Amino acid sequence: MNRRLRRRVVVTGIGAVTPLAVGVEESWRKLCQGKSGITRITRFDPSGLNVQIAAEIKDFHPEDFLDKKKVRRTDPFIHYALVAAHMAMDDAKLTINGSSASRVGVVLGSCAGGMATYGKNLCALCNEGAEKVSPFFIPGFIANMATGEISMAFGARGPSKCVVTACATGNNSIGDAFRHIQYDEADAMIAGGSDAYILPIAIAGFDKMRALSRRNDEPEKASRPFDKDRDGFIIGEGAGVIILEEMESALRRGAKIYAELIGYFSNIDSFHITEPDWENQARCLKLALNDAGISPDDVDYINAHGTSTRLNDISETKAIKAAFGEHSKKIPISSNKSMIGHLLGGAGAVEAIFTVLTIRDGIIPPTLNCDTPDTECDLDYVPNIARRADVNIALSNSFGFGGINTALVFKEFEE
């Protein structure tokens, strides 16, 4: 579709539940202060695992936000998604009624849905028999039920889907929602991602892949993207939800506008299930810029995927160099995962929110624990201390297992 014929899309609401705080502004404040949400696991006894640290959500009581019956019948990943969606809708002050319902949709993803619900019911089946499996097992487990619960909570009846693209899920969800509005299939979209993966089976599985840090004695120093001494990522949990609206519609109702979403692209490597292909990642970044109608030199900040794994950080660095050329040396780059861990399906959505706030406040959050230079990661990663900067255009990257690459381009809003 001709870029001139596409409708403009703006961000009017944000909501998040993160390892730093239940809520966007407190999470953002701690992120900019360089606070870490990574600690020793408290939800269960991790002593039998090689990895005993994670980025857990603290002081979250779903009953404070949701009906108690709903809480009992749904999985934590749905709790996080619903709470973040309520925050975002309240922030946007968006009302859905009978006439607008078909023009508001929901795109929300998860890596695997209700893992806790699945584990609980599998144990019940194995230990006590089929009669002990809950009638709410399936609706509590399948990944699209967060989308369904959000649509029912607000009455949204427009375009809807559940995106499952591993660690790129949040970005793909926002990007797909963006397209629905651009192409006049919806006027507003509720978009994001959510996951609740801090479980023994998930930690053991990622550890078997040698993907996780085993720095158990120093949890706050374990996630160190782009640092020479990095040894793996940290599993986190949480959700991020963004309200996207068609610009004219948002302006007519007097909505607060955080930023404009101007570009998106996603591709797949066709290379390896876990090892990235930096050349195809670079192609993804270039095509996101092309979709936005901007040049590499226009970008003021990159919110990196930055997992703290050796191969991924090197690959992302190479991709940025290839996509941005000489300008790559001038762009501040930081990884939120150094403080919140890897939220898996929720990562891209929460990081997109932080990217929007970087534009709003002119503050680039730091990359924590980026202490020892790596000769193969030699760009400006904003080490350890937040930085003031005028950020007009920012890129948010997400890359996932299976070779999924995504990039979103946000811009300071101008009518």
Cα separation, 122 vs 260, in Å, equals: 44
Mean per-residue pLDDT, 301-314: 97
Burial-class residue 95 by CB neighbours within 10 Å (0-12, 13-18, 19+): exposed
285 CB-near residues (< 8 Å, 6+ apart): 265, 319, 320, 323, 324, 395, 397, 407
Kindly list the domain boundaries of the chain, sorted by start residue.
Answer: 1-399
Residue 269 binned pLDDT confidence (cut-offs 50, 70, 90): confident
Residue 411 binned pLDDT confidence (cut-offs 50, 70, 90): very high
Point out the catalytic residue in the list 167, 284, 370, 377: 167
Cα separation, 111 vs 92, in Å, equals: 27
Cα separation, 224 vs 370, in Å, equals: 6
Point out the catalytic residue in the list 32, 342, 370, 377: 342
Structure confidence by residue, pLDDT tens digits, 103-159 = 999 999 999 899 999 999 999 999 999 999 999 999 889 999 999 999 999 999 999
Burial-class residue 222 by CB neighbours within 10 Å (0-12, 13-18, 19+): buried
> How are beta strands 259-268 and 404-411 bridged, if at all?
antiparallel
Cα separation, 223 vs 307, in Å, equals: 8
Residue 30: name the closest of 308, 346, 345, 354 by CA. 354
Residue 276 binned pLDDT confidence (cut-offs 50, 70, 90): confident
Specify the residue for token string 């861990």.
341
Q: Is 147:160 a contact under the CB 8 Å cutoff?
A: yes
pTM for the predicted model, two decimal places = 0.96
What CATH class does 1-399 carry?
A: alpha beta
Give the pLDDT score at 98: 86
Average pLDDT over the chain reads 96
User: 201 in helix, strand or coil?
Assistant: helix
Point out the catalytic residue in the list 79, 111, 305, 377: 305
Active site residue 342: yes
Directed axis angle between helix 347-361 and helix 24-32, to 10°?
A: 70
Burial-class residue 53 by CB neighbours within 10 Å (0-12, 13-18, 19+): buried
Is 9's pLDDT higher than 90?
yes
Structure confidence by residue, pLDDT tens digits, 244-268 = 999 999 999 999 999 999 999 999 9
Residue 403 binned pLDDT confidence (cut-offs 50, 70, 90): confident
Cα separation, 186 vs 377, in Å, equals: 41
Residue 2 binned pLDDT confidence (cut-offs 50, 70, 90): low
